[in-house]
Structure 1
Amino acid sequence: MHSAVIDVEPETVCAGGGATAPAHPGHPEGPVSAEVERIVPALVETLLDNREELLSVLTRVATRQAAVDEFFRSLRALSGAPWELLRNSPGKLGRLATFLPSNNLLYSYVLFGVVPSLYTDEVRMRPSARVAPAAMAVHDIIGPRVRAAVGGRFEMAPVSQREFLDACAHSDAVVFTGQPDNAGTVAARIPHDALFLGFGSGPNPVVVGPEADLDTACRSVLAARLYNSGQDCLCTDIVFVHRSVARELTTRLADALSAVRVGDRREADTLVAPLVYPDAVEGAAEFLAGHQEFVVRGGRADLARNIVEPSLLHLPWRPGFHPPEFFSPVVLTMEYDDPRLIEQWLRSPEETARGMYVQVFGEPALRGPRIGTSVVCDGRVTFDVEDGNRPFGGYGPRAGHVRRGGAVTARPLLLSAEAGRRARS
């Protein structure tokens, strides 16, 4: 494995909670090529022409509501590609190898495959084994048009991880979206000067302070927790609620959860469906069983049907508690009475390692642009600030980091921005 120097990059400009790429004065940003201006509208048209077919594939692993949202996020990211390339001037990459995640099949395909193909000679993607048939179906719909448009190699194959590591060993850049503990093993296989982008996850806490509008806070918490039945790395895993509003907020949340429809993920009004990952059901069931005294609403899991009941738990302040990634519709609130406690929690070694976003409502003592390694989203949730054409995540090394030349830097990630840095170095 390459020797590594771990660094946390200084704060970049933050607009409303979204981290943006730092400016590069002295490096002129050239015009986007006429080829890109021709290709992108054609690919956007491909998505639009195949909308229902794509949604049919996406709802194999996502609720209809989440799939529609993902479709439009994909359209936006693809439409924004000329702006992204103009801003970052990524130069030309020879080969990109991408480990695709097991969710957001279309969106990740666009972010880590289609957009990079505009400045890469060869793109090779490996779908997650959990969802390989659905991921390959997305590729079958879009892939031929991308190959024809970009004129380069654009491939996806459900090969073994060992076989795909051989492709990584000859790549200029590797995007890894698997478990953070496996990132080092993959990075050790790539050339010393290649780019390695490791995308992880974090707890993305919500803070509901004494000055919060509780209607807004309740809607925001549910939006940040129940997206695709909770199966997204942007979903929040813990909600810190000030003692003065804790009783009212938990009452509102319990009432709202009691009205959540659990059903077929293909139906438009289904908010929670059977989970795609059996281990997520098992993990939720184990957590619920071990914390029954804190259950306010729900609290049951059906392992046979892969269903976790929309559940609310309310815990007293526990400074040493660090929530798991639920990947299920479990809303966990924890009461606090001093915002300095939350700052200390965010700066703990555990949360410094996995800091992504912290979403703040009505707590003026917690201000951005970041606390510890977590980017502050003021009055907005992660799904509001996430933008496929801008760097993603926070500054926790387990949440996201880039490796090149033996150095490891934790910061929000965007491949074109990192490729632009590499071209200018």
Structure 2
Amino acid sequence: MMKRITKLVMVIFLLTGISTVNGQDKYGTEPKKCQQNLSLFHESVKAKNFEGAYENWKWCFDNCPKASLYVYSDGIKIAENRYKTGDKTAAAKLINDIYTQRIKHFPKNLGKVYSDWAKSLIKIGATKDQVFEKLDTAFKADPTGMSIKNLANFFQEVTDRNKDTNVQKVFDTYDDVVEGVNNKIDKLTKQSDVINAKDSLGKTLTSKEVKKRKNIGINLTALGQVEGVLDRIISKVATCDRLIPLYQKNFEAHKTDSKWLRRAVSRLFSKECTEDALYPKMVEAWVTSDPSPKAYIFYAGILEKRGEKKKALEFRKKAIDLETDPYKKADYLYRIARTMYGSSAVSYARKALKHRPNMGKAYLLIARMYAKSANSCGTDEISKRMVYVAAVNKARRAKAVDPSITSKANGHIRSYSAQFPSKKILFVAGVKSGSRHKVGCWIGETVTVP
């Protein structure tokens, strides 16, 4: 009995001792002073009293650097203020020391940390190469952690440095960024779906869930802008005149490299460089090296162009049947929708939405099909123009469920809203604003008269 008690006492002592050692390790050799100074400098920084915060902050920076991330996030604010108001050389060194020590003791979110470091270097007038070095390190760590502005600056620099000597590097960098961003969008969207599903069932969301959904929306909106920013930069480089010779030159060396083929085919498709004989050759090589659902979708496009519509549809259905991830399945259904027109396109877009209810681009596709059918789905000026109201409703729904496409959706809304029936036309026809109107033909939706 005494042995058991002795063992229990020893275990408690060891655990308590370990806890104390860990606490001392985090807060240094003077934990109470560290905690006190942490609180004091943080409150001073919140009050924007940066100079008043310096002494307490510097003590923590030197004596308990592992205590809190505030040592670094507040430290940068203090150091950048000193750069503005004091010895610029000393402050510039301090800024670099803060980032170096932060990475040593808190080596997480390095994409964002190095991106922020580059931002600080710009503020203190560092050279272009010094800034690019940090942006390059940020990109290699995690491009999705970089700010949109820094991503754009980095990609612009990569493009400028390589467009005439190594254009493949430009394309690879673009692909790495876009794939990383799209993966992060998918991840955040799935997290948002869980919260939205709970909300749709009438269950009360916790304050943490409400805040998380709001932050996800903000992040999705920002991430949704990335591809458009990069496209504007790459547009002068990624032309058919450049792409075709490049891929012809490299095809033999990469004809069994499924990653290279996937990226090359996707780029040729997105840039509408599909008329050259190289395109179907590359698609067939991709299907051979990687008989995957995505490859089947592209191959179906080749078959359809050759007039083999039945076989094309078989491959599309095969791709959908093989895919187990509902988000990817939705993407393939959306791709099928893009190859069709009118009610057929809308039918597949709706199937995509069943697997991914917040697929904003599917709603935008429906909006476009509605707008293109305005003349055929209306019998007079008002009924034709009311089709655009239905189109705007879908575009609004698109950005409501998917903040990442807000910018695109707003462009559709502006364009279609300009086609609404005017108050004069409505007055002459005796149609009241606010009344209900059923859109004709295959659309069949009831909308409110603007």
**TM-score for both structures, normalised by structure 1:** 0.23
Greater Rg, structure 1 or structure 2? 2
* Bigger helix share: 2
